[in-house]
Amino acid sequence: MRLPCCLLAIVGFSLCVPTTSYAVDLSPGDIVVSDPTADAVLRVDPRTGGVDVISSGGHLYSPHGIALDAAGNVIAVVDYNNVTEYGKIVHVDVSTGAQTVLAAFGHAANPWYPVVLPDGNILYSDYDSPASIRRLDITTGGISIVSEGGLLRHSLNMVLAGQKLFLTDHTGKLYLVDPRIVSVDLVTGAQAVVSSGDLLHRPYGITSDPATGLLYVADQGFEGLRDGRIIRVDPATGSQTLVSEGNLLWDPSDLAFDLNGELLVTDVRGNNPSAIVSVDPATGSQSLLASDVGPSVWGVAVFVPEPTTLFLLVCGAACLGRRRHPRP
């Protein structure tokens, strides 16, 4: 289904708005986070915890959900609840910090979280009721509805695993009510409730273990009455397992796997300030990877080079090694 012309994306759209841009070279395993309070996208070095600004200001008004495309550039969903400028998808070139608006919705949509498809096109969740999943064609700017209404009430973060999307979903505006995980089959369009209630209270972030297919959910604490937690969900059975709770986890908002199979969790900590916590998915052990990252880091993504790029990097390193250590 195609949306009316008034809702079509504005491709390559750019206004003269103040932007602070920096040149950043991403290395494999580098962490990219969004900070809606600082209106910025940041790079965090997983080895040192050091923070660099990729881009800030400009069109990055309150960025929340982010994803990386095949080239390692940032796709950010911004303006999710601003009164005057409402709903954009912005491309950020990490090598220059330059911003390009891929889609601008006015007050016609409330986008929350993006997923980049293998073909480079973008899926995004629309939080408004009824919630929907929409597809942005980055070549034409056309927007089509993938799934709408039904089991989708207010959909937040999502992850693509195979041909299925898994989303955190709830009812209510001020408070999350009846939280659950919903799946959408991208081939058939079928929706299903994967898991609900039990350990789920305020689920936001969700990711999938590429090795096992199991889902991991970041569930926020609530005003000091409940600790933040990481929950494992079996998408086949809906069973929930508590992985880690409390300690360094206050208000986890999003999570992603690093190159070593550890979970990297952004924790807004009531804007006091925020941090990135590493969690072992097998044991639940926690360690503080980076503190004082920004006022309120939210979305997180890990740079994983394309196989071809990684192959060239490995080959280059091997060649350098041979030059430094010639055969006897």
Q: pLDDT (tens digit, 9 = 90+) per residue, 166-211?
A: 999 998 766 678 899 999 999 998 999 999 999 999 999 999 999 9
Each residue's pLDDT tens digit, 241-257: 999 999 999 999 999 99
CB atoms under 10 Å from CB of 116, counted, come to 18
Q: Quick check: helix, strand or coil at residue 117?
A: coil
Q: Is the pLDDT of residue 306 over 50?
A: yes
pLDDT, tens only, 11-62: 444 444 556 667 789 999 999 999 999 999 999 999 999 999 999 999 999 9
Rounded CA-CA distance 85/66 in Å is 19
Q: What is the pLDDT of residues 114-173, one digit of tens each?
A: 999 999 999 999 887 678 999 999 999 999 999 999 999 989 999 999 999 999 999 876
228 pLDDT above the threshold of 50: yes
> Are the C-beta atoms of 240 and 251 separated by less than 8 Å?
no
Structure tokens at 49: 């915890």
Q: Can you state the percent helix, strand and coil of the chain, rounding each to 5?
A: 5, 45, 50
- Chain position carrying tokens 């400009």: 58
Considering the domain boundaries, does residue 327 fall inside one?
no
Give pTM, 2 decimals. 0.87
- Buried b / exposed e across 124-159, counting CB within 10 Å, b at 16+? bbbbeeebbbbbbbbeeebbeeebeeebbbbbbbbb
C-alpha distances out from residue 165 to 11, 46, 48, 130, Å: 25, 28, 33, 17
In this prediction, residue 271 has a pLDDT band, given cuts at 50, 70 and 90, of: low
Q: Which two tokens stand for residue 278?
A: 């590493």
Is 282 contained in some domain? yes
Distances (CA, A) of 182 to 19, 104, 116, 159, 301: 37, 27, 19, 11, 21
Long-range pairs, 266-272, Cβ under 8 A, ≥24: 266/33, 266/205, 266/218, 266/293, 266/297, 266/298, 266/299, 266/300, 267/228, 267/297, 268/296, 268/297, 268/298, 271/37, 271/295, 271/296
Q: What is the mean pLDDT of the chain?
A: 86
Per residue in 75-116, pLDDT (tens digit) is 999 965 555 566 899 999 999 999 999 999 876 678 899 999
CATH number at residue 88: 2.120.10.30
Dist. CA 113–CA 299, nearest whole Å: 9
* Structural domains counted in the chain: 1
328 pLDDT more than 80:
no
Q: Give Cα separations from 79 to 63, 109, 173, 191 (angstroms).
A: 7, 10, 17, 28
> Is residue 141 within 8 Å of 103, Cβ to Cβ?
yes
Asked if the structure places residue 328 within a domain, the reply is no
Q: Which structural domain range is residue 55 located in?
A: 5-322
Residue type for 138, please?
I
